[in-house]
A and B are shown apart, each in its own frame.
Chain A
Amino acid sequence: MNNKRMIASVIEIVLGLVLIILGHLGKIDDYWSGMGGGLLAVGVLRLIQQFRYKNNATYQEAVDTERSDERNRFLGMKAWSWAGYLFLLIAAAGSIVFKLLNEEKLMFAASGSVCLLIVLYWMSYLIVRKKY
């Protein structure tokens, strides 16, 4: 881990705090202040991880091994692949169910998700095919 990640965490914390304060002052709506809370939580957690990484040799070794472990990367890719397939199936089934329920907006959202995922898959496939 490097200083760039630490700087990114500090930016997340500052941005999160700014959004929360602006939300409390009524300048922005709850959506943005909620996002600020999320950013703050993520920033603080990452910062704690980075301090632990720098000061704890055992943790550093465990993190480095986890990152370099090829099976772990394989599992990550496999999990994304399964998640993509499941999302596709759920969205496709959802579009049919929403159509039957006359929920046009939700039906279009579900159908659009299926189309977008398929387009993204083919784009990724074409890029990966050239790369490897």
Chain B
Amino acid sequence: MKNRIEEIRKAKGIRQEELAKTLGVSRQTISSLENGRYNPSILLAYKVARCFGMTIEEVFLFDEEESV
């Protein structure tokens, strides 16, 4: 699933380490999320969205074709 984590994080001036610490995950997890290599659980997706003050739909982009 595509997401806007890197774009939003950079726009807010947050480093990967800081975001990782806030979410209670490793920096590698943030990197994997940003690269689209790892799809988060609904709980982590919610935490990411809440950390940015946004909704899940604003951060994670649902692709109909990708889900088939």
Interface residues, chain A, CB within 8 Å of chain B? 65-66, 68-72, 74
Instruction: Given contacts A71-B28, A71-B38, list 14 more A-B pairs with CB under 8 A.
Output: A65-B24, A65-B26, A66-B26, A68-B24, A68-B25, A69-B24, A69-B26, A69-B29, A70-B25, A70-B29, A70-B41, A71-B26, A71-B32, A72-B26
Interface residues, chain B, CB within 8 Å of chain A? 20, 24-26, 28-29, 32, 38, 40-41, 43-44
**Chain A residue contacts of B38, Cβ below 8 A:** 71, 74
Closest to B44 in A: A70
Give min CB distance, A36 to chain B, whole Å.
36
**Chain B residue contacts of A68, Cβ below 8 A:** 24-25
Closest to A73 in B: B41
Q: How far is the CA of A65 from the CA of B26 in the complex (A)?
A: 6
**Chain B residue contacts of A69, Cβ below 8 A:** 24-26, 29
**Chain A residue contacts of B24, Cβ below 8 A:** 65, 68-69
Q: How far is the CA of A66 from the CA of B25 in the complex (A)?
A: 7
Give min CB distance, B68 to chain A, whole Å.
22
Give min CB distance, A67 to chain B, whole Å.
10
7 nearest CB pairs, A to B: A71-B29, A69-B25, A69-B26, A71-B38, A68-B24, A65-B26, A70-B41
Give min CB distance, A62 to chain B, whole Å.
9
Q: How far is the CA of A72 from the CA of B26 in the complex (A)?
A: 9
**Chain A residue contacts of B20, Cβ below 8 A:** 65
Give min CB distance, B31 to chain A, whole Å.
10
Interface centre among A68, A70, A71, A72 (most CB of B within 10 A): A71
